[in-house]
Chain A
Amino acid sequence: MTTASFTQNGKASTVKTTFSRETSVTIEIEADPAIVWALLTKASDYPRWNSTVTAIEGTIAPGEKIKLKSTLDAKRTFTLQVKEVEVEKKLVWGDGQGNRTYTIKKNDRGSVVFSMSEKIGGFMFPLYANMIPPFDQSFEQFARDLKKESETIMRTK
């Protein structure tokens, strides 16, 4: 299996196999990891800064269930479980079809490298693969929005 290549330019890439699809995006953000983390984990605040999310209900905390509405499929509400929380480092949520992973890493320039990836798949994947829209554009927009909002907050005087 091929792994998605990670560059920090905010350009998404997708790797497809017969039984899975993985989309990833990575971007450098000039902000404190605490700010990026606060934005990623405050569910009700998402629609204010993230143009790809119309609503998230619930609490983003270990084991909690959240209900997410996205511009990718406006009519659908995704019920997801928060599967992993490593403060200011890693957040994973998902359902039976796949997981979305967010990671934040400090770099030596005092910025952070933010990555997000989503892998969906399974034995039944070939049957419904064509019904799932591509994530690339939405991922790139998510990363851009997060970068913009984090850096705006960081510049607050």
Chain B
Amino acid sequence: MTEELFNQEFKGLARPLKSFLLRMTASLADAEDLVHDTYLKALNSLPTFRGEASLKTWVFAIASNLAKDNARVQKRWSENVTDIAKEAALSNNQFFQEAMNIRMTSPHGQFEVKEHIAFCFTCISKSLPLEQQLCVFLKEVYDFKVSEIVIILGVTEAMVKYYLHTGRSKMITLFEGRCALINKNGVCHQCSELNGIFNPKQDTQAELVKIELVKEAEKGDKEHLFDLRMQILREIDPLQSKAADLQLHHLEHNRQVMEKYLEKSTD
């Protein structure tokens, strides 16, 4: 492959790559750095690219390897990250002032429940062991086949299947226990609460029932509900969506809160 063709193809890959790395690091700055590092490493290794896998698979393999060495990727968050972050936000006036400012001034500052569902998944998925988190994102959100993930992660097909299954199962159990959208007794209503704050004139219940995940909740098919949640993530580009700026601000906040929380826990 020529350098010119590679540059052209890489441009098309840069967006999904950056969104993948954002979801892995929970840091826009780290995601941008990792995209840049991936580009340089891929460019330098271009003579070794033989086209046995697609360029997308090859580039994501380089990115995943770089990501595994990133300190923010390596940090495992708590399953109840959203509770911890909520408590911190409630005692932080500046957070709400900044968020409201983004809401009022940014063209990417809208609040949408679907966007928050995707954001919430990103945060909670950081409680998974790294291999499980990588497999779930690569397969469920970035559409890689198991055989491609084998190449990306350099592990056997059996282990990809194991990580994928256990990661999915844990996330299904976690959301089943927490998310009020799919479980009437769920303890977390943050997406509805925030919709009330950022869209005070909107009927939140009316907004919620427009979402397929909520419509299907009563049927109780956990696997299907997880697939619908993944569909929401696939449809949202966290860097370009109508709510991107607001959600990135929120993500930055949650990451900082978790970093402090993890620091305290290890003291």
Contacts and interface: CB of A to CB of B under 8 A. Distances in A.
Interface of A: 31-32, 34-35, 38-39, 42, 45, 48, 152-154, 156-157
Nearest to A39: B162
B161 interface: yes
B165 A48 contact: no
B27 to A, nearest CB: 28
Contacts, number: 33
B166 interface: yes
A3 B11 CA distance: 67
Given A153-B165, A156-B146, A156-B161, 10 more contacts: A32-B157, A35-B158, A35-B161, A38-B162, A39-B162, A45-B166, A48-B166, A48-B173, A153-B162, A154-B161
Given A153-B161, A153-B162, A156-B165, A34 B146 contact: no
A34 B169 contact: no
B173 A34 contact: no
Contacts of A156: 146, 161, 164-165
Contacts of B161: 35, 153-154, 156
A7 B90 CA distance: 61
Interface of B: 146, 156-159, 161-162, 164-166, 169-170, 173
Contacts of A32: 156-158
Q: Which 9 A-B pairs have the closest CB atoms?
A: A32-B158, A156-B161, A34-B158, A153-B165, A38-B162, A35-B158, A153-B161, A35-B162, A156-B165
Give the residue among A42, A156, A157 with the most B Cβ atoms within 10 A: A156
Contacts of A48: 166, 169-170, 173
Contacts of B170: 48
Nearest to B158: A32
A152 B165 contact: yes
A38 B161 CA distance: 11
A98 B163 CA distance: 33
29 contacts: A31-B158, A32-B156, A32-B158, A34-B156, A34-B158, A34-B159, A34-B162, A35-B158, A35-B159, A35-B161, A35-B162, A38-B159, A39-B162, A42-B166, A45-B166, A48-B166, A48-B169, A48-B170, A48-B173, A152-B165, A153-B161, A153-B165, A153-B166, A154-B158, A154-B161, A156-B146, A156-B161, A156-B165, A157-B146
A39 B166 CA distance: 10
Nearest to B161: A156
A119 B252 CA distance: 55
A152 B164 CA distance: 12
Contacts of A35: 158-159, 161-162
Nearest to A34: B158
A45 B173 CA distance: 12
A56 to B, nearest CB: 15
Contacts of A38: 159, 162
A32 B161 CA distance: 10
Among B146, B161, B173, residue most surrounded by chain A Cβ atoms (within 10 Å): B161
A39 B169 CA distance: 13
A48 B172 CA distance: 12
Contacts of B169: 48
A48 B170 CA distance: 9
Contacts of A45: 166
Nearest to B135: A156
Nearest to A156: B161
